[in-house]
């Protein structure tokens, strides 16, 4: 039977079978939950915190053996009822476990394309809005099983929460000319294709879990937020979601060809060249040979050092057609409302120069003819000033400029509104050296978004709890209506060129101006110069 025939047959009985599962009666906490029928087979969840939870649900075939470095394939039907009570292994990566920060050691595997669902629905007919979480980790790390990402508290606010996995590092983002030829179009964006496959699975199956496939909001942080930005620009994701939330994400710089400051996404040609060097260092002369190598050798072998740890999506002309700034300028993005923002001290925990000499050397090497203008906005008159400027430049090039630019472009060329935030609240961090002397650094908002402070070894005050409640309500309101406003929350005005307002989260949420505007404007001139240079080449 073809997939289309299988889909038509299953669609006829999907809702009826699922309704029987939901109607099976109330079970005790921790016991088996309803059995829900997906297109590949039935899944039995568990009852956790008063809702049905399904963990480790396959949305694609294991990308192993001959499927390594190929687009994800539809999951094969399974016999019997699959238990959905355990997270699947995280996608293969170098461990970043840090119990002090609430990051546990998790099992990893190439067989990792699974998703998890938290459903408060009482029946398949509830048609709840769906929020789809995409984790961060620099495209080389991350997992859906990190306790911080438990979806219970967001789901309690009347949404269905899904978290999806995607391939990482060389397994998710290796480009090579042989792979491009093999596919007939491109290579290197397998991690993004995994995300798209997860969203397609949701379109086909989420109704059975009580969700509405026509009210899907994607949201992510860091590399997950960048992924949201890329999905919002990818023609392959068109129609798969109706809203986008990006926390410390966005990708609007020009193509990367070398060591240019503030740009990350290479062209396919550059990515293929890097991939060839990676494979050569591994001693693999063909893709067939590389597919036979153990995952551990690919992850930690000599090839990893030649890439400097940088595996990233590329402008392949297929998943990512070209520079997102140009796509948005032309108004050809996947036009939805967006809720996007950054944190005040994003750059603090990232490596950056700590003295004036090092910072000056870096800026002059990476920013070319714009270096003097960058240094005027990010001065280095002393080691202390240089360290602060280096942190702020990291914050703005990686996160703040991209978010500000995204808001400007969406409000100018799109119909969906843009809502912008600035998180400037220092959480009650655990007492570890990483957080000494830093404010609202990268990821500081996550415990508030998910309402899970204990999972980051934090103890919220009453004020922290109130802020978390406000943020969760804004986020879920947005998922329900494409607008974060509602109830007694302070009104969140959308961002426009005439009124470029931002919701500041520090104490009671309140509207304010775009932070660090002069620095962002200096970067805007720099990026315009970079785009003109790329156009002339």
Which residue out of 352, 425, 442, 504 is catalytically annotated? 442
Interior/surface letters 69-98, b for 16+ CB within 10 angstroms, e for the rest: bbbbebbeeeeeebebbebbbbbbbeeeee
Which of the residues 145, 222, 370, 411 is marked catalytic? 222
Strand partners, 340: 246, 420
Helix extents (H) in 232-267: none
The residue annotated as part of the active site, out of 178, 346, 392, 445, is 346
- Catalytic, 384? Answer no
Please say if 37 is a catalytic residue.
no
With both helix axes pointing from N to C terminus, report the angle between 383-395 and 356-366 in degrees, rounded to the nearest 10. 40
Give 278-285's long-range contacts (Cβ < 8 A, gap of 24+). 278/170, 278/174, 278/303, 278/304, 278/306, 278/307, 279/174, 279/176, 279/303, 281/305, 281/306
Distance, CA of 382 to CA of 392 (rounded, Å): 15
Q: Under a CB-based contact definition with an 8 Å cutoff, are residues 394 and 374 in contact?
A: no
**Measuring CA to CA, which residue among 515, 231, 265 is closest to residue 396?**
515
Please indicate whether residue 222 is annotated as part of the active site.
yes
How do strand 51-58 and strand 41-48 relate by DSSP bridges? antiparallel
- Number of Cβ within a 10 Å radius of residue 500: 16
Helix axes 517-536, 401-413, angle to 10 degrees: 80
The β-bridge relationship of strands 82-83 and 90-91 is unpaired
Would you name the residues annotated as active-site residues?
Answer: 222, 346, 442
């Amino acid at each position: 039977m073809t997939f289309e025939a299988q889909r038509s047959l299953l669609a006829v009985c999907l809702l009826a079978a699922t309704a029987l599962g939901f109607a099976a009666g109330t079970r005790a906490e921790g016991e088996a939950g309803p059995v829900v029928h997906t297109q590949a087979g039935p899944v039995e969840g568990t009852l956790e915190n008063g809702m049905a939870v399904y963990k480790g649900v396959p949305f694609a075939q294991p990308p192993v053996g001959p499927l390594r470095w190929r687009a994800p394939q539809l999951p094969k039907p399974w016999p019997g009822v699959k238990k959905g009570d355990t997270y699947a292994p995280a996608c293969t990566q170098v461990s970043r476990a840090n119990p002090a920060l609430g990051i546990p050691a998790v099992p990893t595997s190439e067989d990792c394309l699974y998703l998890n669902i938290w459903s408060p629905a009482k029946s398949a007919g509830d048609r709840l809005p769906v929020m789809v979480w995409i984790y961060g980790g620099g495209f080389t790390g991350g997992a859906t099983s990190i306790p911080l990402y438990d979806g219970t508290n967001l789901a309690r606010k009347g949404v269905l929460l899904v978290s999806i996995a995607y391939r990482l590092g060389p397994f998710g983002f290796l480009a090579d000319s042989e792979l491009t030829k093999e596919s007939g179009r491109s290579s290197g964006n397998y991690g993004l294709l995994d995300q798209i496959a997860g969203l397609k699975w949701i379109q086909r199956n989420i109704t059975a879990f009580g969700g509405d496939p026509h009210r899907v909001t994607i949201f992510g942080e860091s590399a997950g937020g960048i992924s949201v930005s890329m999905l919002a620009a990818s023609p392959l994701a068109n129609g798969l979601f109706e809203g986008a939330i990006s926390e410390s994400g966005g990708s609007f710089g020009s193509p990367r060809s070398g060591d240019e400051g503030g740009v990350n996404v290479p062209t396919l040609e550059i990515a293929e060249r890097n991939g060839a060097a990676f494979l050569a260092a591994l001693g693999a002369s063909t893709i067939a040979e590389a597919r036979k190598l153990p995952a551990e050798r690919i992850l930690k072998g000599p090839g990893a050092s030649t890439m400097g740890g940088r595996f990233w999506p590329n402008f392949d002309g297929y998943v990512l057609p070209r520079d997102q700034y140009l796509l948005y300028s032309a108004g050809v993005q996947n036009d939805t409302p967006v809720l996007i923002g950054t944190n005040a001290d994003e750059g603090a925990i990232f490596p950056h120069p700590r003295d004036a000499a090092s910072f000056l050397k870096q800026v002059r090497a990476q920013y070319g003819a714009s270096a003097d203008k960058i240094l005027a906005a990010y001065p280095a008159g002393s080691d202390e000033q240089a360290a602060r400027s280096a942190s702020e430049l990291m914050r703005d090039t990686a996160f703040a400029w991209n978010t500000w630019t995204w808001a400007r472009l969406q409000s100018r060329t799109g119909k969906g509104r843009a809502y912008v935030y600035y998180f400037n609240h220092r959480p009650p961090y655990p007492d570890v050296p990483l957080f000494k002397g830093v404010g609202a650094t990268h990821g500081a908002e996550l415990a508030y978004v998910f309402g899970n402070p204990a999972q980051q070894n934090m103890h919220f005050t009453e004020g922290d709890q109130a802020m978390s409640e406000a943020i969760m309500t804004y986020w879920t309101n947005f998922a329900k209506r494409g607008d974060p406003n509602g109830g007694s929350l302070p009104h969140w005005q959308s961002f426009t060129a005439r009124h470029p307002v931002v919701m500041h989260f520090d104490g009671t949420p309140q509207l304010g101006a775009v932070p660090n505007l002069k620095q962002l404007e200096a970067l805007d001139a720099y990026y315009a110069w970079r785009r003109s240079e790329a156009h002339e080449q």
